[in-house]
């Protein structure tokens, strides 16, 4: 199997940059990691977040972009810079895996998508729930019509962040909705399609004097029902209350907890209800053990080698971005 020569551009303050780089290095049968670059004051990150790069070559951004033997890059800067560096990589002819959801400038994101469509290489965004085994199974069953007509989707992704991170959210439009709610918007859009109306309800808890929108919520109106995404940065027990509930005319499926265990050894619990009974507990199952990032990057490798078609087209990613920004009250 041909290894893909790949480099990483950037890491980030509070997202998945270190984990992505470690996964690339671990999957040495798929990737030859050439090195990394740290633009945007990347050296100012904590030693813990930079330790993943030890033993690998630090390069300049120009070295990565100009090296024709490097066919792919992962773009893992802080969110506000993602679109800028992804566009550089696309213009340099690279296949690109980019941290979610893209930068905060809608015009720049649209320009990136135009470049992706013109250049034609793989453009892949790091929405890790797309590669959760239970989500993959559920999406396939929804496509086959096993849940009937979909009435609503309820999606939550909560946590309990320290004050420092909740203040950092102020750099992002919509705060938590942009930062983590993007995962939920992606799921709702995949399952229900484009909504008739989006009602953003993001707000600040005000706790600890934090003024950023650390409580994100958006309601999606459809002809036959209402769906919602909710994401809180101040919720005790929030990690284990991350969930996806899909209600259809033939049954209801709940994934909860969405993820538990460690990032390298995760599980998801599913409960399915198809019986009209007050006391029926439904049928519960647990996913096989999975790694949050390995399957995602292995799929990216397969796309780069032409063995797999990316099901998430550039047009879909544009529609998702527009939908997310509407949830963040940003015209797009």
Of residues 52, 13, 59, the one with CA closest to residue 35:
59
How far lies 98's CA from each of 77, 79, 192, 245, in Å?
Answer: 9, 10, 25, 27
DSSP assignment of 147-165: T-SEEEEEEE---B--HHH
Residues 178, 265, single domain; the answer is yes
Domain presence at residue 79 = yes
Would residue 236 count as lying in a domain?
yes
Q: Is residue 332 part of a domain?
A: no
Residue 214 lies in a domain: yes
Q: Is it the case that residue 74 has pLDDT exceeding 90?
A: yes
Residue 26: which CATH number?
3.40.50.720
Per-residue model confidence as pLDDT tens digits over 181-204: 999 999 999 999 999 999 999 999
Q: Which domain holds residue 33?
A: 4-127+294-314
The predicted-structure confidence for 137-172, as pLDDT tens digits, reads as follows: 999 999 999 999 999 999 999 999 999 999 999 999
Paired sense of beta strands 251-255 and 215-222, if any: unpaired
How many separate domains does the chain show? 2
Verify that 142 and 88 share a domain, yes or no: no
Rounded CA separation 287/119 (Å): 38
Whether residue 83 sits in one domain with residue 145: no
Residue 302 lies in a domain: yes
330 domain-assigned = no
Asked, for residue 282, whether it belongs to a domain, the answer is yes
In a shared domain, residues 138 and 103: no
* Same domain as 282, residue 137: yes
Find the CATH number of the domain harbouring 240.
3.30.360.10
331 falls within a domain = no
The SS3 of residue 303 is helix
What is the per-residue pLDDT for 278? 86
pTM for the structure as a whole: 0.97
Asked if residue 86 and residue 118 are part of one domain, the reply reads yes
């Amino acid at each position: 199997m041909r290894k893909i020569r790949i480099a990483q551009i950037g890491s980030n303050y509070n997202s998945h940059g270190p984990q992505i780089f470690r996964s690339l290095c671990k999957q040495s049968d798929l990737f030859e990691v050439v090195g990394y670059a740290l633009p945007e004051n990347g050296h100012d990150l904590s030693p813990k977040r930079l330790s993943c790069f030890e033993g690998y070559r630090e390069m300049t951004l120009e070295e990565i972009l100009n090296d024709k033997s490097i066919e792919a890059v992962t773009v893992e800067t802080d969110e506000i810079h993602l679109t800028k560096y992804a566009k550089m990589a696309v213009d340099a002819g690279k296949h690109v895996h980019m941290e979610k959801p893209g930068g905060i400038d809608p015009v720049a994101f649209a320009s990136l998508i135009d470049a992706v469509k013109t250049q034609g290489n793989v453009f892949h965004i790091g929405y890790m729930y797309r590669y959760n085994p239970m989500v993959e199974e559920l999406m396939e069953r929804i496509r086959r019509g096993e849940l009937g007509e979909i009435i609503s989707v309820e999606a939550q992704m909560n946590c309990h962040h320290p004050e420092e991170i909740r203040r950092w959210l102020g750099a992002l439009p919509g705060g938590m909705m942009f930062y983590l709610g993007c995962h939920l918007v992606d799921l709702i859009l995949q399952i229900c399609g484009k909504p008739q109306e989006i009602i953003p309800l993001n707000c600040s808890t005000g706790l600890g004097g934090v003024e950023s929108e650390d409580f994100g919520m958006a309601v999606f109106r459809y002809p036959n029902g209402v769906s919602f995404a909710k994401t809180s940065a101040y919720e005790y027990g929030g990690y284990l209350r991350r969930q996806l509930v899909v209600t259809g005319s033939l049954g209801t499926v709940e994934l909860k907890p969405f993820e538990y265990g460690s990032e390298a050894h995760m599980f998801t619990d599913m409960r399915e209800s198809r019986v009209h009974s007050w006391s029926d507990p439904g049928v519960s199952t647990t996913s096989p053990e999975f790694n949050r990032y390995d399957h995602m990057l292995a799929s990216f490798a397969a796309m780069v080698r032409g063995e797999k078609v990316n099901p998430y087209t550039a047009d879909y990613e544009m529609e998702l971005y527009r939908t997310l920004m509407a949830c963040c009250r940003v015209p797009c």
